[in-house]
Amino acid sequence: MIQTQLSRPKTHGLHHQRGYGLIEVMLALVIIAILVAIAVALSINLRTSSSITNNVNHISQISSNAKKTFGVPNQYSAVTQVRAIRSVIPRELRRFDPSTQQYSDNAYNSFGGEIFAGYSNLTSNGDTFTFVWPNVPKDQCENIVTQVAGFMRRIEVEQGTAGTALTALTAPVGDPLNQSAGIGAAATVATQVGTSTGLPGTAGVKGTIVKQNDTELSTGALNDACNGGTENVRLWFWVGRS
């Protein structure tokens, strides 16, 4: 009787050890999943932050180049799309053609939107350099505009109706980029048009002026404009002479 009890295998402790190991594995998987989710979120935030910084730097450089090249000598009226691309837009935004070993007269921002530029009659004839920054994601719009507002005389955020896309821009051909309401208008909404090109296209999409002529940026208007309508917006900037 005693021998039988002694020879009986002890399985109760073994079952307990196996169950405890399974719980540990499940906890480890949960922790790994949480860490992966945090890593993904941090990666997305880092990419977004890097994109905002990149665009702010390019927009600021364009503003500085425009003032130095055309604004100081009061020659904004001489600005054309090609001249702007060649002397104001940073070279790294232009496309390089390996076959000709030359840069094209087209420039694109990091969102893949083609950049257009010209002069504008804001409060007097040819007093501003104007350029368009397309395809800006909603979640970067406010940060970009806020950081460059100090360099601009006027800023507009153009957005389409939700579920629709903004129409493609048409390059201006020697025409000023005027606001349709007229020189020096104080309207809060304006459609950008060229005198013959119909810029920015046939949809007649209107934008919200978030910084009026030489005034402070309206953060409330900016928030509404960046977060309404289409997923991407188009930014319009007016650069003064000084």
Q: Is residue 43 part of a domain?
A: yes
Reported pTM: 0.74
Q: Is residue 127 part of a domain?
A: yes
Q: Is residue 18 part of a domain?
A: no
Q: Is residue 24 part of a domain?
A: no
- pLDDT tens-digit map of 72-108: 999 998 888 889 999 999 999 998 888 888 888 899 9
Q: Which residues have C-beta within 8 Å of that of residue 80, sequence separation ≥ 6?
A: 118, 172, 173, 174
Overall number of domains in the chain: 1
- Structure confidence at residue 190 (pLDDT): 39
- pLDDT tens-digit map of 46-56: 888 999 999 99
Q: Is residue 188 part of a domain?
A: yes
Q: Is residue 27 part of a domain?
A: no
Domain harbouring 134, CATH code: 3.30.1690.10
Q: Is residue 6 part of a domain?
A: no
For 114: left if phi > 0, alpha if psi spans -120 to 50, otherwise beta; the answer is: beta
Q: Is residue 82 part of a domain?
A: yes
What is the distance between the alpha carbons of residues 69 and 61, in angstroms, rounded to a whole number? Answer: 12
Q: Is 123 helix (H, G, I), strand (E, B) or coil?
A: coil
Range of the domain at 67: 37-239
